[in-house]
Structure 1
Amino acid sequence: MIWSSSRWFWLAIGLLSVVLLYVLAPILMPFLAGALLAYLGDPLVDRLESWKLSRTASVTVVFLTICLALVLFFLFLVPILETQTQRLFDKIPQYLEWGVNVLAPYLQERFGVDPSVLEVERIKGVITSHWKETGGFIRNAVQTISHSGFVVLGWVANLALIPIITFYLLRDWDHLVRYIDDLLPRSIEPLVARLARESDEVLGAFLRGQLSVMLALSVIYAIGLSLIGLEFALLIGLIAGLVSFVPYLGLIVGVSIAGIAVLFQMPHDIFMLFWVFAVFGVAQVIEGTLLTPLLVGERIGLHPVAVIFAVLAGGQLFGFMGILLALPVAAVLAVILRHVHDTYKQSQIYGIEESLLDDNLPVADSVTDGEKTP
């Protein structure tokens, strides 16, 4: 009877949580963003506390560092990325024309393909008109939110709430964790605490470790490609760094894009391809010997395919809020499924097949030597 009432209690809590998430979804974005930033910054705050700083002073230092990084990103990196992206779109028609001039004779001679079926002029016109209609990232965003005063106010309110929520969550993070632990029923507290610790290890390995590796690789790629004179160094370096959470994908994507860019920019200097390979080779050595051992460690965290699926599924189901929730939910589910797997392997259900096999053994194998027939 007690188990039955407990089951209905947790079922009601789960249903209520789902309903509240659905109803309050429009206002949850700043709280989720603030919680994510607080989660990322809490280990730094704990480290500063170990150096005899107060909790409030440690939170202030970490909070100002996060705000400074975000301000620098939006003031400097976003305009540069927008400029390079616009220049890339402007040159795509030239790249298409060069590619057709190089490939058309080969396709026509080897496969009998008429170059006119490629409709290069039409593709160039579509790309050019699309970019002119949409404009740059910043201008397009400003035009989008300026259609309605309420939309503008909503965006401003959400952006203003994120740093406030982040600060207070950072300051009270340890208290919140202890409070939630104290609310748990004592019968399940050890199991929930163990699952929470494992989830934190998995999620932290990816968010804190792998994201740091991705950022470091983006910087290394961008600096290296800039030194060899590549025109879109920052854009290519950022793309290669962002997709590097999948093993070797950042290397493949980066070398491919940078190699093509070098061929277009310096068609008569094939030796420049060697420097592209050198940049990515040095970056891979640094990642394997320094970045991954120091920042990620032995615990890799979520499988790359699981990360891709979680982000895409979260965005498809719940939009931007789903993207924010995707990795934390995937990390918790991975730990729970691992626990379910271990429990299943130790259960009678998993042992049924073995017991049935034992029951079906031949009689001759189960009798003693003295009872065996000649």
Structure 2
Amino acid sequence: MSDSLRWLWLVGIFLSGWLIYLLTPILSPFLVAMLLAYLGDPLVDRLERLKLSRSLGVALVFLLFAVAVAVLLLIFLPLLGRQLMRLYELTPQMLDWLQHSAMPWLQVQLGLSADFWQFDRLKAAVADNPTRTSDILGALLLQVTQSSLALVGFIGNLLLVPIVSFYLMRDWDVLMHKLRGLLPRRREGLVMRLTAECHEVLGAFVRGQLLVMLALATIYAAGLMLVGLELGLLIGLLAGLASIVPYMGLVVGLGAALVAVLFQFGAGDWYPLIGVLVVFTVGQLLEGMLLTPWLVGDRIGLHPVAVIFAILAGGQLFGFTGILLALPVAAVIMVLLRHVHDLYKLSELYGESPEVSQEASPPA
């Protein structure tokens, strides 16, 4: 490849990236639709092998997704709503517990000054501003009015996702075949090997890690509710979602559960504390020895720091959609970087020529 052609490729890649960045506000539904189509394509392929048409298979997969979402909403949404209302009711009591029990104990242990926490000032600030409620409501109403177009756009994007997903899922194999036909003939084998490896990693993460998160959320929520924790379902779901980052679910869930146990049962009752520790210990053992090896395997290999950076970078660039797509994209980038590393180890930039190696070696 000549230098001018290389520069042309670099300029084209730069302009494409800049265009994608400018189109970020409208890309979210298409990215989510691509993810759903990727998840549903294997199911549609299996239905096709059962002599069903592609369109009918896509419709059945969409019906399966809709039923699963509806069942989850009907079962968990009322329970989760009651948990959130209970948390709202307990918030004033938790603040009093923090002020009169937890903070004084920390103050004595750490040797802090008497007015270090300034709870009285906080309460006074809240008590002095009840007359401004109308102003706050007016400002909130103004903000909602100004954001009406954004709300309409969000609803439109939400409705656009299933439509785009349907057409992508129906034509997925055709699109993949056409993209393969556009590959340079001399590089087709290499690109297809990279694509197959990326597909393996994505399948391991998307279908495996999400199942691990769901299993951990179920284990934590059921165990904490059996212990008798009032907010067990909420804390269990939070711990399961946080487990997308290694050990983050354990830290967040165990910390929140211990605080909830101390507030609900007091420091003198050891049985709920032991129960919470047993629940998270069992969850971690099942994750390490059964769930992750069985559902995910060791094909992803993302370092925890890389996971945290990928999630933060995805949220900064694409918002909530970027958070959802951060780790699958990071897994694909990891596969490509692995091959770039192999090429670098074979290049002249990394290695030395035989003449240089002989001159640098000491005489015998």
- For the aligned pair, the TM-score class normalised by the smaller chain equals 0.7 to 0.9
**Counterpart AA for 1:209:** G
Give the direction of change, closer, same or farther, for the CA distance of 1:298–1:360 in structure 2 (3 Å limit).
closer
**Counterpart AA for 2:256:** I
Identity fraction in percent:
53
TM-score by length of 1: 0.82
Question: What pairs with 1:255-294 in structure 2 (closer than 5 Å)?
Answer: 255-267=254-266, 268-294=268-294
- In the other structure, the counterpart of 1:297 is 297
Matched, 1:233 2:229: no
Give the direction of change, closer, same or farther, for the CA distance of 1:159–1:72 in structure 2 (3 Å limit).
farther
Preserved contact between residue 206 and residue 302 of structure 1 (Cα < 8 Å): no
TM-score by length of 2: 0.84
- In the other structure, the counterpart of 1:330 is 330
Preserved contact between residue 28 and residue 318 of structure 2 (Cα < 8 Å): no
**Counterpart AA for 1:179:** K
Gaps of 5+ in 1: 134-140, 366-374
Matched, 1:358 2:358: yes
Gaps of 5+ in 2: 134-139
Preserved contact between residue 315 and residue 323 of structure 1 (Cα < 8 Å): yes
- In the other structure, the counterpart of 2:39 is 40
- In the other structure, the counterpart of 2:306 is 306
Question: Distance between the aligned counterparts of 2:11 and 2:326, measured in 1?
Answer: 24
- In the other structure, the counterpart of 2:137 is none
Shift of 1:93: 3.6
- In the other structure, the counterpart of 2:156 is 157
Preserved contact between residue 311 and residue 327 of structure 1 (Cα < 8 Å): yes
- In the other structure, the counterpart of 1:67 is 66
Question: What pairs with 1:48-59 in structure 2 (closer than 5 Å)?
Answer: 48-59=47-58
- In the other structure, the counterpart of 2:251 is 252
Give the direction of change, closer, same or farther, for the CA distance of 1:105–1:261 in structure 2 (3 Å limit).
closer
- In the other structure, the counterpart of 1:116 is 115
Give the direction of change, closer, same or farther, for the CA distance of 1:153–1:92 in structure 2 (3 Å limit).
closer
Shift of 1:56: 2.7
Question: Distance between the aligned counterparts of 2:300 and 2:141, measured in 1?
Answer: 39
**Counterpart AA for 1:85:** L
Please state whether the residue corresponding to 1:271 is helix, strand or coil: helix
Question: Distance between the aligned counterparts of 1:4 and 1:294, measured in 2?
Answer: 48
Shift of 1:82: 4.7
Preserved contact between residue 203 and residue 301 of structure 1 (Cα < 8 Å): no
Preserved contact between residue 41 and residue 62 of structure 1 (Cα < 8 Å): yes
Question: Distance between the aligned counterparts of 1:147 and 1:317, measured in 2?
Answer: 24
- In the other structure, the counterpart of 1:98 is 97
Give the direction of change, closer, same or farther, for the CA distance of 1:298–1:36 in structure 2 (3 Å limit).
same
Moved more, 117-126 or 176-185: 117-126
1:56-96 CA-to-partner distances (Å, cap 9, x unmatched) read 33322221222233344556545644543343244234224
Give the direction of change, closer, same or farther, for the CA distance of 1:236–1:170 in structure 2 (3 Å limit).
same
